[in-house]
Structure 1
Amino acid sequence: NHLEPKLPFKKPFKRAFVFTCHSIEQVMQINENWFDEVVKAGEFVRGAHLEPFGFQLKNSGPLSDMHKDFIIQNSWNINFSEVLRQAVERKIVKDEQIFLEMGVTPDTNVGSLAFWSKA
């Protein structure tokens, strides 16, 4: 549940991998503690998110404008990149690499990719 992330594990795993693919997009805004909760999955946690957030970081022209309009029209996520940035600032995660606007689907829902690891 991206609105209230809670991990039901009795104890963290040694290593954990968190992957989302166009699921965070379905939540208009994730909680600012999203990463705080997710890193509890393990002693070492790596995350990868293929989500439509590129327009949140950089306007690369008409495609970014169309994508932003599409996201707002559907009430989809508008704060993933900000919550990630804040988690990096608070040293919850290390921001490893981001690839913007990696592909286009017919509905202009462009995916971007973010990698991070537990700080």
Structure 2
Amino acid sequence: MEATTELRTRLRKLLNERIPEGGTEASTNFTDFDLDTLLTESDILDSAVAKGWMEKAGLLQADIESYSIGSEKYDLTSLKDRLNHTLAMAKQYGATADAVKEIANYGSYMFSVQPPEVL
């Protein structure tokens, strides 16, 4: 798929990669070059999103999970929970991409025909 500004913006949104106010693309996990690579290596947007979420899972690092100051206690999201979330997102978009590809191969949303397996 050809990478365009619109597709790159959409991919960044689906990967939950917001550029911080006053920041640049370097402040995120994916630069524009990285997003363009994901797009050109994929045939549909959902495939690019699934690959992006898998890459985000690989980039996760352990942080402090809880701390307290005086009588206040703060609990942060654990690495395991963040990993489970990123892998679930990758699985969801991967399933969507597979469904779109299957429909494209066998028919439409309204009427789908799958050829029989021949021995």
Smaller-chain TM-score range? under 0.3
Question: What TM-score do the two structures reach when normalised by structure 2?
Answer: 0.23
Question: What TM-score do the two structures reach when normalised by structure 1?
Answer: 0.23
- The structure with higher relative contact order (CA 8 Å, sep 6+) is 1
Larger radius of gyration: 2
The structure with the largest strand share of the pair is 1
